Structure 1
Amino acid sequence: MGTAVTADGAGRRELAPGAVHVPGWLTMAQQQELVAACRGWARGPAPIRHTKLPRGGVMSVQTVCIGWHWQPYAYTRTADDVNGARVAPFPHWMVELGRRALVDAYQDETAGDGYTPDTALINFYDGQAKLGMHQDKEERSGAPVVSLSIGDTCVFRFGNTETRSKPYTDVELVSGDLFVFGGASRFAYHGVPKVYPGTGDPATGLAGGRLNITMRATGLNG
């Protein structure tokens, strides 16, 4: 059985303690700005790629990183598995966006105080891409993860902190949605079992597919 879900009148839903879905959080203008920024980061200095896994597999999503470069299962400043280039810096306007996301998700004016994300993993899903259940646990910080969706609708599966299997809750994330998970849910397993092609609005600047931007605080120095 799934986890309990609570909702308020604005559509905000708390799927588990610390895990909050806020539909339609990004304006169209913000989505357009993020698509343009992501398109630039995808070109480099460390370009978007299908990440190779340690056992020889390749992820179906394409990923580009800013601030820190992620590869299974560590962060580095340079994209050693791509071209060795230092990744693009994490911009301050993204820090401010992350702080506002926490304030709105947790409905607490102090929720963003001290939150300083320093990396983002930007995943692009075509119609066939999926992401298996996993934890975001390479960070040395327990600060919340801020996730933004643009483009095609997906099924987001949000689970528990102990196992990849049930209990979990499936929720549809559409373009402009915000999802935050922190506190007791910070290390919950989660994944994307399905994307619905053709459901996004081309007005975002994304003709097809889904962009997912996850901001994190690594807790690393250097």
Structure 2
Amino acid sequence: MTFLNLAGFQVYKSYLSTTVQQEFAKELRDVVSAAPMFSPKTQSGGQMSVRMSAAGKYGWYSDANGYRYVDCHPNGTRWPDIPDGIVSVWQDLVSKTRMPDCCLINFYGENAKMGLHQDNDEADYSYPVLSISLGDAALFRVGGTKRGGKTQSIWLESGDVVVMGGDARLAYHGIDRIKFGSSRLFNAHGRLNLTLRVVD
């Protein structure tokens, strides 16, 4: 494992072993089976290029009424529990007492990306957002707490973990592109990004 500090973003390269990544992939298949992936619309009516699901107390949703956390999947069912193995990464790097309320699951296909944005829909910013990368590599771009200005980029690969806390908690960040087919974790390729966060 290698540790990097990218503008306050704590990057743990190769934090998860191949075996653990495979275990997570198996557990996530069960989560997505209970809470199928969907493609939210932005507040302006556009379709997001990533597909989403979630586990935990809350999931994230977007439509003409805005961006928000919700306690049910769009099909009306409650979100499944966050798998214990994934929670253990949070316990190792963030807190052993305050557990995450939500694990967002974003799937990036060949042409998917995520524009620069802040994670600011949570009530408590004192806890970081923890991000786990699985599958194909992604070009991760980070900036400051205001739009515009200098940005930096790093390739995140399968098994990398990023902790966004402190000054980086409300920094703009996004995914410019993925290196489709760069990982063998998933037969159909693509990238899964898990983000654990405290919501309440």
* Aligned equivalents of 1:90, 1:210: Cα separation in 2: 19
| Letter aligned with residue 179 of structure 2 | Y
What amino acid sits opposite 2:197 in the alignment? R
In the alignment, structure 1 segments of 5+ residues that lack a partner are 1-9, 103-111
- Cα shift at 1:93: 4.0
1:66 to 38, 52, 55: 55
Which consecutive unaligned segments of at least 5 residues does structure 2 have? Answer: none
Cα 1:86–1:58 shift into 2, 3 Å: same
Question: Cα gap change, 1:160/1:47 in structure 2, threshold over 3 Å: closer, same or farther?
Answer: same
Superimposed CA distance per residue, residues 70-100 of structure 1 (whole angstroms, 9 cap, x where no aligned partner): 1131112112xx2121111234443322121
User: Residue 129 of structure 2 corresponds to which residue in structure 1?
Assistant: 145
What is residue 132 of structure 1 aligned with on the other side?
115
* Separation in structure 1 between the aligned mates of residue 104 and residue 187 of structure 2, nearest angstrom: 18
Radius of gyration: which is bigger? 1
Map 1:148-187 onto structure 2 (within 5 A).
148-163=132-147, 165-187=148-170
After TM superposition, the score normalised by the length of structure 1 is 0.82
Aligned to 2:121, what secondary structure does the other structure show?
Answer: coil
Q: How much has 1:129 moved relative to structure 2?
A: 0.3
Moved over 4 A (4+): none
Aligned position for 2:21: 31
Structure 1 residues 32 and 13, CA gap change in structure 2 (3 angstroms) = same
1:56 pairs with 2:45: yes
TM-score, length-scaled by structure 2: 0.91
Matched to 2:174, the amino acid is G
TM-aligned CA distance change 1:187 to 1:47, over 3 Å: same
- 1:47: which partner in 2? 36
Q: 1:78 aligns with which of 66, 72, 82?
A: 72
1:208 matched residue in structure 2: 189
> Which deviations, in whole Å up to 9, do the C-alpha atoms of 1:139-179 show, x marking residues without a partner?
1111111101111111000111111x232110100111111
Give the aligned CA root-mean-square deviation in angstroms. 1.5
Identity of aligned residues (%): 35
Distance 1:160 1:119 in 2: 24
Where 2:27 maps in the other structure, the secondary structure is helix
CA drift at 1:114 = 3.2
Per the alignment, in what secondary structure is the counterpart of residue 60 of structure 1?
A: coil
1:117 and 1:135 map into 2 onto residues whose CA distance is 18
